[in-house]
Amino acid sequence: MQKHPNTPVIACGGFATGDGLAAALAMGAGAVAMGSRFIASTESEFDDGYKNIVPPAKAQDTIIVTGALGPIRLWKNEYSLHHGLVADKAAKMAGEAAMSQADLIAEGKAYEAAYTGNTGTGAVLLGQSIGVIKSVEAVKKIVEEIVQDAEKRLKDAHGFIK
């Protein structure tokens, strides 16, 4: 932030609540990205089967695997349990070099399958924040609650400064 003061800082990974937003703002972030929280929204275009995984899930229902650009977190299912995590950059590059065009197409289709409702064998992108998301709500309600909770947390925290 000091080197590039005009570059926005967006915290990403594990955010789904006002407390998380308040913590990120307190550490200097200007915003947070909340992927799983907004997948579990009524307006999300993801299949209802995908969205409805979230409310009963626990953080432990996810697993970290190697994705196209690096580590990603997926919901534990047949697909994710058969995809490992590479040990280092050399292993990642070797795996990429070994992939055929058919392999790349199959990977893409696994993500599309989950998006359209095949949550058993598709690649279901969800993070550990699913453990604190208890309902599928309208985006307006989600945003209002998160902002209210963050404001309350930040106001309460201000009282600790002497």
Which residues on neighbouring strands pair with residue 66, listed in sequence order? 71
- Residue 158's pLDDT is 81
- Residue 34's pLDDT is 96
Q: Classify residue 35 by burial, with Cβ atoms within 10 Å: 0-12, 13-18, 19+.
A: middle
- The Cα 41–Cα 141 span in angstroms is 9
The residue assigned the tokens 């990603």 is 72
Closest CA to 80 of 56, 101, 54, 107: 107
Please write the tens of the pLDDT for every residue from 50-92. Answer: 999 999 999 999 999 988 778 899 999 999 999 888 888 898 8
Contact 110, 123 (CB under 8 A): yes
- Residue 1's pLDDT is 65
Nearby residues of 122 by Cβ (< 8 Å), 6 or more positions away: 77, 79, 110, 111, 112, 113, 114, 115, 116
Which residues, given as ranges, of the chain have pLDDT below 70? 1, 162
Contact 9, 1 (CB under 8 A): yes
Q: Rounded to the nearest 5°, which phi and psi values hold at 66? A: -85, 125
* pTM, 2 dp: 0.86
